[in-house]
Chain A
Amino acid sequence: MEKPSDLKNQMNESALACQARNGDTDALVQLLQNNWLWLKGLIYNVLKRPDEIDDVLQAICILAIEKIHTLREPERFKPWLTTVARNAALSHRQKMSRKPMQLDELIASQQPDPDAPGALENLTRREQMEQLHDAIGKLPDKYREVFILKHIEDMSYADIAETLDITLTTVQIRLVRARRMIFNHMTGKPTDKVPRT
C-alpha cells in the first residue's frame, strides 16, 4: 500500500512532468535531478562500467529535453524515463562493443588505483569488495537491476516497482533471489538454476 508521502511525491512529480511536457525547462531539470541516482544505477546495470555513466547520462538528458513532449501520461514519468535510459544505455553499450579497447585502458581497468584512500591498508576489505563486485556483476540483468536500485538510494519496493513497471511481489522475489545468488557466490555454494521470475 502506498504511503501518503509517496502519494504526495507522485502528485508533485506528475505536476512537474505536466509542466515539463508543456515546455517548462525548470520543471524538467527538477525532475531529472530528483531521479538522478536511480538513473545512474540503471545505466551502471547495463554498462557495468562507472567511467562511462556520465556520457550516457548526458545523452539521456538530451533525449529527455527533446522528447518530453511525447510523454502521454505525466503520472508515469518514471517508467518513461526508464525506457529512455535503458535504450540510451544499450545503444551506448552496443557502440562501445564495436570499439576495441586499448591495451593501456585494459591494464588500467584491471589494476587497483594506488592513490585511492586506504587501498593498501584495507586489502582484505578490498578483496571482499571485489568479490562482491564480481558477484553482483554475474547476476542476471533483471536481478541486478532491482538489486542496484534497492541499494543505490534505498528505494522502497513500491518505487522500484513503479520505476521498472513491474509488480511489488516481483520486486520482492527478485531481491530475495539476487541476495541468495550473491551470498552463494561469496560463500562458494552452488547456485540453483535461475528461475524465470
Chain B
Amino acid sequence: MNEQMLEILISKYIDSEITPAEQKMLDAELQSNPEAQETLKALEQLRDQSQQMIKEEVVLSGAPASTIIEQALAQSSRPRKQKGTPYRPWYRDPISLAACFILSLGFVSVWVNYGKPIQQTGSNNGQTTARPPIDQPWPPLFIKSAEERTPLRQEEKRNPDDGIYLYYTDLETGKVRAVELHRKSDIKTVTYDEGL
C-alpha cells in the first residue's frame, strides 16, 4: 500500500467514515507496517489537539446563540411574523384577483353601454321576439276583449304593489302580448280599440 492510500485510510478511520472493507485493509497494513502505526498515532493526536484548540477558540467563545439571534430579531427591519397564514399581497391572492376581474368586467360593461337604450327580449309561444326600446313608440296594440282576460289580472288587482297585465294583439303579426303596466310606466303610445 502506498503512502497516499494509507493516509486516506487513516484519515477515514479517525473520522469514523471507514467502510468494513477498508478497515480490513488498514488493519492488515498496521500489523505489518510500524510506520503506519506511528502515522496513525500522530494523526489521532493531531485530531484531538485540533478539536481542543477549535473548541477553546471558537465554540466556547462569544455570546450564546439565543442572545445574538434575539438581538438580530430586534434589529431586523423586516416585521416579525409568528406562525399562521403567510402574508401574501392582494395581487398574489387568487380570490382577490378573481374579484378584481369581475369588478373590472362590470365597470367596462357599464362604461360601454352607458347612455344606450336597453334592448329587451321576450318570448311568446316559445318564439323569441325583439321588443322595441322603451323610449321608442311601440307598434299599435289593441286590447283584447274583456272575455279573453285571464283571472290572473283580477288576482293581481288585489295587491297594490303588483302591476296590471293587459293583453294586446299585434295587428301586423297577430301575436298576443301581455304587457305589465306599472304605476310609473313610461309606455305612452297606446292605441285603444274604440269598441271596448
Contacts and interface: CB of A to CB of B under 8 A. Distances in A.
Dominant secondary structure at the A interface: helix
B53 A61 contact: no
Interface stretch (A4-12, A31-39, A71-79): A31-39
Interface string B63-82: 10110110111011110111
A115 interface: no
Contact of A136 (B42, B50, B83): B50
A132 B45 CA distance: 11
A23 interface: yes
Contacts of A51: 61
A157 B15 contact: yes
Contacts, number: 114
Given A33-B65, A40-B59, A54-B68, A151 B51 contact: yes
A143 interface: no
B21 to A, nearest CB: 14
Contacts of A33: 65-66, 69
A187 to B, nearest CB: 8
A168 to B, nearest CB: 9
B155 interface: no
B57 interface: yes
A190 B68 CA distance: 43
Interface in B44-59: 46-47, 49-55, 57-59
B91 to A, nearest CB: 16
B62 A50 contact: yes
Interface residues of B, number: 41
B110 interface: no
Interface residues of A, number: 47
Interface stretch (B5-13, B23-31, B121-129, B177-185): B5-13
A89 interface: no
Interface string A142-157: 0000011011111011
A44 interface: yes
B50 A23 contact: no
Dominant secondary structure at the B interface: helix
Given A58-B68, A180-B7, A132 B61 contact: no
A24 B7 contact: no
Nearest to A60: B72
A10 B15 CA distance: 21
Contacts of A182: 46, 50
A141 interface: no
A50 B61 contact: yes
A183 B43 contact: yes
A25 B7 CA distance: 45
A96 interface: no
A29 B69 CA distance: 7
A22 interface: yes
Nearest to A182: B46
A9 to B, nearest CB: 17
Contact of B72 (A40, A50, A62): A62
Interface of A: 19, 22-26, 29, 32-33, 36-37, 40-41, 44, 50-51, 53-54, 57-58, 61-62, 65-66, 128-129, 132-133, 136, 147-148, 150-154, 156-157, 172-173, 175-176, 179-180, 182-183, 186
List 5 tightest A-B contacts by C-beta distance, closest first.
A61-B72, A22-B86, A23-B81, A65-B76, A36-B65
